[in-house]
Chains A and B, each alone.
Chain A
């Protein structure tokens, strides 16, 4: 059996130009599919990484906009305490107040995300200077703030260090807040991806409530869960609790939905590219079949010689079949390596640069794809030419010029 591989290898090597041209289609097809697979894997890793970077254990709940009685559904201060007491696993509950405000510091005037937070940290950014908001700030509704890395660079472009702005003041409208803390960069640049909904300027939520709350109801509430708490259960419980209390409909949202949506998008992209790749593989397979048929015709005389010498049908069949197999195996393996390389370049050079997460290379999937396609292409497109070769009449074949 090994002798047949050696023989087939020699034949292919003797016709190396033709062999290489034959497998190019296959190389491209497999490379496409594998590289998309690798990049998609990287993307999936990046997406889950991004949401690990933000507060994956936060969820938001707000009245459904479609219901009739929005007054009854409105969330109030009393609901915060209710959720805090009745839903297990809650670390902190605060009003959800997404808002952008003009912030002044010295001569700088910048539009930034501005909102209330509790002493439990909603942002995962590391602390670069000063301190975070504490329970006393919240209790006193103190006029203090913690600013993000983004706010620091934009409000204080000339700041020597994060420490140098501690104790200075910023203004939101006419109100003054003293900076008590500065956050550093998040590991992942979520702002660049448009995924950041944490505040650039965070003040105690009580301060925010006192200064900016109009009327007694808020847009929604955000809940920070204890580490390891089951978000799904808490979301359902909170929803049920509020529905029961208000007799109204609520909906919730967390980053998991986001991740799902994004992953779903990449899955579809992967599917489409995969389908295109599969079509290209069919075309490549037909190319291989074509070349093998040409090869059978071109080598009619050779086949005649082999048969005259005493080669059985099965031996001729096997020889041509193994030539097809070697061609497609070579094409698929080359395509796989190329695809992994290309995918890794996309992943490392592009996805990882944004997400800070380097996806692991899915070797198993790549190998499965390559071996799978080599097998299918050989079986589907290698059998017929081999059969044609084996069926040749030796007398006719020897007469062929």
Chain B
């Protein structure tokens, strides 16, 4: 690790096989790549290419069948469910297509949730959550429930929640998939800003427009990486 201190995600020979009845489905067929701290990477591919599976593995929601995955210097390939939960809590922030905020719970309390599970005192939780909400430009809407917020605002809340525990990596799965173009560009501008601020961001998308905003694009097909090139390079 010391030889590559800047690497935050290091994947080697990663495979994932699902047993679907008698059929063995190989979703990932041996991926090897690494992502440095502060990189802004897009993972692209058509549906069935394995990008969602990769996202789940990178997000520690799922374990690879074989291969190693080191996140922020920790080998997470062999961790049990509780240890993975701990990694998700401390090292990762998720942004989903469907926002995935808790309904009937206001923005502020949605953002405090990771801190709640981290066991932080209530006052401190709220202070930090409000800080994050302000950072993503929605501090004044902190006491509104998701149903009272627009899609863009909801996604901002989700981003604030993903960032509140200061994660090593921000993982976004089709973050603009449910948004109109104007709101999409606002969210992408926010990502640009976060990236400029030094955040490591991985966006899974099939939208070229979204991918272009990143610095590097991994293109997947049938469980393998077809290309790994800087954004703007010819496809």
Contacts and interface: CB of A to CB of B under 8 A. Distances in A.
Interface of A: 3, 6-7, 10, 14-15, 301-302, 304-315, 394-395, 398
A120 B82 CA distance: 84
A45 to B, nearest CB: 49
B96 interface: yes
14 contacts: A6-B122, A14-B105, A304-B100, A308-B94, A309-B94, A309-B114, A309-B117, A310-B92, A310-B114, A311-B85, A312-B82, A312-B117, A313-B82, A394-B61
B86 interface: yes
B81 interface: yes
Contacts of B61: 308, 394-395, 398
B159 interface: no
Nearest to B87: A310
Nearest to A15: B104
Interface string B67-83: 00000000000000110
Given A302-B102, A395-B56, A395-B61, A312 B85 contact: yes
A309 B89 contact: yes
A310 B122 contact: no
A177 B59 CA distance: 106
A308 B122 contact: no
Contacts of A315: 117
B82 A309 contact: no
B122 A3 contact: yes
A310 B62 contact: no
Contacts of A15: 104
A7 B119 CA distance: 13
Interface of B: 56, 59, 61-62, 81-82, 85-90, 92, 94, 96, 100-105, 113-114, 116-118, 122, 161, 165
A309 B89 CA distance: 6
B96 A398 contact: yes
Given A309-B88, A310-B92, 14 more contacts: A3-B122, A10-B105, A301-B100, A302-B103, A305-B100, A305-B101, A307-B85, A310-B87, A310-B114, A312-B85, A313-B81, A313-B82, A395-B61, A395-B62
Contacts of B102: 302, 305
A15 B104 CA distance: 9
B96 A310 contact: no
A309 B113 contact: yes
A310 B117 contact: yes
Nearest to B171: A308
A14 B102 CA distance: 12
A301 B117 CA distance: 17
Contact of A310 (B86, B103, B105): B86
Q: Which of B81, B85, B87 has the most CB of A within 10 A?
A: B85
B81 A306 contact: no
Nearest to B56: A395
Given A14-B104, A305-B100, A395-B62, A3 B116 contact: yes
Given A310-B90, A313-B81, A398 B117 contact: no
Contacts of A305: 100-102
Most buried by B among A305, A313, A314: A305
Interface centre among A10, A304, A309 (most CB of B within 10 A): A309
Contacts of B103: 302
Would you list the 4 A-B pairs with minimal beta carbon distance, nearest first? A310-B89, A310-B88, A14-B104, A312-B85
Contacts of A10: 105
Contacts of A304: 100
A3 B118 CA distance: 12
A221 B56 CA distance: 95
Contacts of B85: 307, 310-313
B86 A309 contact: no
A15 B102 CA distance: 13
Contacts of A314: 82
B98 to A, nearest CB: 9
Contacts of B87: 310
Contacts of B62: 395
A394 B90 CA distance: 17
A314 B161 CA distance: 22
A57 B9 CA distance: 93
A305 B154 CA distance: 14
A4 to B, nearest CB: 9
Contacts of A308: 59, 61, 88, 94, 100
B92 to A, nearest CB: 8
A14 B105 CA distance: 9
A171 to B, nearest CB: 86
B117 A311 contact: yes
A7 B116 contact: yes
Nearest to B125: A3
B149 to A, nearest CB: 16
